[in-house]
Amino acid sequence: MTELAVPTSASGTAANPYITAQRQFDQAATLLQLDSGMRRVLREVRREFTVNFPVRMDTGRIRIFTGYRVQHNLTRGPAKGGIRYHPDVSLDEVKALAMWMTWKCAVTGLPYGGAKGGVICDPDQLSRQELENMTRRFASEITVLIGAASDIPAPDVNTNSQVMAWIMDTLSMERGYSVPAAVTGKPIEIGGSEGRPMATGRGVTVVTLEACRRMGIDPHQATVAIQGFGNVGSVSADLLHAEGFRVVAVSDVSGGIHVPGGIDVPALLAHRGAGGRLADWPGAIPIGNPALLELPVTILIPAALENQLTVANAARVQARLVVEAANGPTTPEADDIFAQRGITLVPDILANAGGVTVSYFEWVQDLQSFFWEEKEINARLTRVMERAYLQVEELAQAHDTTLRMGAYCLAVKRVADATQLRGIYP
């Protein structure tokens, strides 16, 4: 994912993602008529773990880092969720992301609860050795929580397969034997899965195609703008381009480009892979991230950080379809505006669930020590995403509500039913 500034609310303060997550849950709980006790159980995180740990820097000085690991719910299985490195990581952000992971796993039918982690840092300001030292120490600090049967981390913003390899190795060294299933998103050489790097973007593509089919949108006549040209956004752009969509704008933290006639996405990826910047793409019109969100396109895909679509800009969004490749890019106020304006929105807990779905496949393969071919993984992912989209749409129609609330109703009911069946211990 790509780093972007977090917009402020109408009051001028940064929108709190945890309050957003709770408000979304409250709306679904009301539609489902959950009793007050169940609401209290599911509305709060189960565990929030904060660590302040020392790391020796290349200069020899000691620096203290702050990190978090939060588990929202464990009723349906082990906790699952990524780890992000970012200067703006906060406990409330991690709590919100953990809650969204619970619903994301439930909406796709995965046997997981939700978790998330993060460290307050700018990884671009760390050397490779400092990044490894910090990662290993953070992994050691949270080892009381994580493991193949309890809580399985994965990559997120500013973390990747190498970071996951360091975490897996740290856990393995402390336990005295290799534990590949304790972490997903690893390199293939140490138990990673085929198809994992492209999984989130592939899932975004599957639900975009499904939404277009149901809305009567011809991919060959549709234009797409993508905010955030990191792993998820770039993969989505590439796959949508291959399906015939005309990608006309993309952006990253430095800004973006607009090419009304369409971007040659494979060529742009090759350009960037060779060290080129988006801004240097020939024939492109420079465009800022805020302006990209308001372009007259068929489909808008926010693939960056939270709170990009707010009450401040929702009325100017011109897309017919918004597909949330990022976590929490839309505030509840913007959701209401989109609903009033007839804009269809595929929510994050459905749209970007491809990553955790293939992470589940990786976990299963590691536990069995038996690995699948990429063709099989992609086919399984497509089936999971298409089934989830159909179930979400059916519930949205049954409750006469949005796709977001349809997804929440599906997910919250599954977790509530599991909680009811298991009971409250002791």
Active-site residues: which are they? 116
Amino acid at 262: G
392 CB burial (10 A radius; 0-12, 13-18, 19+):
buried
Question: Which H or E element spans position 332?
Answer: helix 332-341
Contact in structure between 115 and 79 (CB atoms under 8 Å): yes
First-to-last CA distance in the chain?
42
Residue 366: φ, ψ to 5°: -65, -40
Locate 356 and state its tokens: 């955790």
Of 394, 399, 389, 404, residue with least CA distance to 212: 389
Listing from the earlier edge strand, what are the strands of the sheet with 151-155?
A: 47-56, 62-73, 113-120, 79-86, 151-155
Distance of alpha carbon 133 from the chain centroid: 26
Cα 199 to Cα 176, 230, 358, 382: the distances in Å are 31, 13, 6, 10
Task: Check residue 95 and give left, alpha or beta (phi > 0: left; psi -120 to 50: alpha).
Answer: alpha
| b (16+ CB within 10 A) / e for 323-354 | bbbbbbbbbbbbbebbbeeebbbbbbbbbbbb
Locate 412 and state its tokens: 């919250």
Virtual CA dihedral for 205, 69, 146, 136, nearest 10 degrees?
Answer: 100
Cα 175 to Cα 64, 170, 216: the distances in Å are 25, 9, 54
Contact in structure between 76 and 415 (CB atoms under 8 Å): yes
Contact in structure between 84 and 69 (CB atoms under 8 Å): no
